[in-house]
Amino acid sequence: MTDQKRYERLLAAVQSGDIDRRSLLRIIGATAAAVGVTGGPMGLLTRKAMAAGVESIRFDGWGGIVSEAFHNNAFPQFTEKTGTKVVEGEFGDTDEFISLVKASQPGEYNVFLVSGVYDYFRFIKMGLADFVNEANIPNLDKLLPATLAAFRNESEGKLAAVPFDYGTTGIAYNRKYISDEEAQAGHKLLWDEKYKGKIGLYDGFQTRAWMSSLYTGQDPQGATDTAAMWEATRKQRDLVLKYWGSGQEFIDLMSKEEIILSDGWSGRVAFLQQNGHDIGFIDTAQAGFAWIEGLMVLKGSPMEAAEQLINFCIEPAVAIAIAEGQNYPPSLDPTKVELTEKVKKLPGFDPTGKFDNYIWEKASYWFDNQDAYKKEWDRISKGA
């Protein structure tokens, strides 16, 4: 059955009274990303629910273990406490999500998990975001100053997203085949012909440009010889089995040993390690970069409910529970909040909270170069 057909039948079920509003919201949340549209039956369903007097707010996340962590540790509890239901959606790619938001009516999408200051900057530049009233989010005082500054610096001191967690992109490797000593080569491993056909890489222009800049001895956020950078990417393509597009796909490929070496996100690597896979991870400046995720508010959202939801999610007990579920450290300040041993052991965790050895994205660099870089990466990924 197609998604469109499924929603047509769901609509008929709602109209006939076979599905109640509570079940309707749960089903919409569970399948929103798969539908990929905001008009048609789904838009009608959402409007029917709201018109019926249901006070709800929509949240979109990255799916998989990330969405599960929010669902299991925050949203039902938030609804129980406030009476406001959370309509859960998922997305697998930021560009795809931007298209959905731009095609929607203001207010259809409310709060989502933005990844990195570059994506934060993009939503603001496109006029899709709204700014919070910080006085309504008292738990802001418990967050790491460095993460708050990272967002404020891209939006003239204001916040359209509240830092929630952070992670790193590095090199993941299977210790059955690659030793920790060999892995010290960092990004260079991704060009080692010995591993031809057993390498997986993230299908994203930013990561590809970053790693290739390192390989060609250039500043990953200031490459001057972009021809060399892309030629290295083209050379690397011949070694790659698969460019993966989601964290779940990365997990599947690594766990089945279809690949033994890859770019990796710290939280997804932690998941593999916790499930018995002997996966090593290098995430120093020689291999990758760091990023912040935030709870971002979109234009037209019910601001009071959005601020309430955000404040609830960054409540230490909630944020720590989500962190343990999704395997990314929370943006809570460890000098103010006692973190659990599990959080402290997560890959990418910074016990100082100062991020002295972390390399953050420069939003303006990626924004200024995004069109040219996306175009070239698209050509290379297609074999050009």
Helix axes 363-381, 226-237, angle to 10 degrees: 40
329 and 168 Cβ atoms separated by less than 8 Å: no
83 and 54 Cβ atoms separated by less than 8 Å: no
Q: Which residues face 292 on adjacent strands? A: 166
| Residue 281 host element (H or E) | strand 279-282
Whole-number CA gyration radius for the chain? 21
| Residue 289 host element (H or E) | strand 289-297
pTM (2 decimals)? 0.80
Q: At 273, phi and psi to the nearest 5?
A: -65, -40
Q: At 383, phi and psi to the nearest 5?
A: 105, 5
d(CA 218, CA 159): 32
Neighbours of 59 (CB within 10 A): 26
Tokens 């892309």 — which residue?
Answer: 230
Q: Name every residue whose Cβ is closer than 8 Å to that of residue 279 and which is 6 or more positions away in sequence.
A: 172, 173, 174, 175, 254, 264, 269, 272, 273
Q: Output the tens digit of pLDDT for each of the chain's 384 residues.
A: 344 444 454 454 444 444 444 444 444 554 444 333 334 434 444 443 343 344 899 999 988 888 999 999 999 999 999 999 999 999 878 988 999 999 999 999 999 999 999 999 999 999 999 999 999 999 999 999 999 999 999 999 999 999 999 999 999 999 999 999 999 998 999 999 999 999 999 999 999 999 999 999 999 999 999 999 999 999 999 999 999 988 889 999 999 999 999 999 999 999 999 999 999 999 865 567 889 999 999 999 999 999 999 999 999 999 999 999 999 999 999 999 999 999 999 988 999 988 888 888 899 999 999 999 999 999 999 998
**Which two structure tokens, joined as six digits, stand for 141?**
């005082």
Dihedral of CA atoms 90, 47, 55, 13 in degrees, nearest 10, equals -80
Tokens 């955000």 — which residue?
Answer: 310
DSSP state letter for 39: S
Please report, as a single letter, which amino acid is at residue 348: G
Strand positions, DSSP E, 91-203: 111-115, 161-174, 199-202
Q: Which residues face 65 on adjacent strands? A: none
120 and 293 Cβ atoms separated by less than 8 Å: no
| Residue 279 host element (H or E) | strand 279-282
Q: Which of 143, 168, 163 is nearest to 153 (CA)?
A: 163
